[in-house]
Amino acid sequence: MKKQLKIALVAHDARKADMVEWAVFNSDMLSQHKLICTGTTGGLIQQAFEDEGIEVEVKRMNSGPMGGDAEIAALVVNKQIDFCVFLIDDLSANPHEADIQMLLRQCRIHNVPIACNRYSADLMITSPLWDDEEYEPKAPQYVPFKR
């Protein structure tokens, strides 16, 4: 599966500092891949990378409340996202909850790994399966279970 990954990075307002810190910590790995972010998160990550002298192209979609979560969900459906890190603020209500749930659901349906906290993001991004040239994830099968 060794290839350049398309990685989506999304973070709610209360989690943006966490996301920026995580992205800088993992910048060696992230700089080898294509990053797609919601608008504000992407701007903060790009600025942090520039401040650290790290050259990475960050594609920015709209902000989450303006449709960015839905845009990234559409990329998932079209097989244009390989991995998603979505740091969600579970302590606050979000007016665009339907878009958030859509992105999470599309990742699950289309078998795209999605990390919703830093620990799972660290585990997933460092998985040796990303470098295994013979590994191909199995497509999910939605059929009734029969014994």
Residue 111, C-beta contacts closer than 8 angstroms, at least 6 positions apart: 137, 138, 139, 140
Q: What is the spatial order of strands in the sheet that 83-87 belongs to?
A: 58-60, 34-37, 6-11, 83-87, 114-115
- The reply to whether 89 belongs to the active site is no
Write down the catalytic residue from 69, 82, 90, 131. Answer: 69
Active site residues: 69
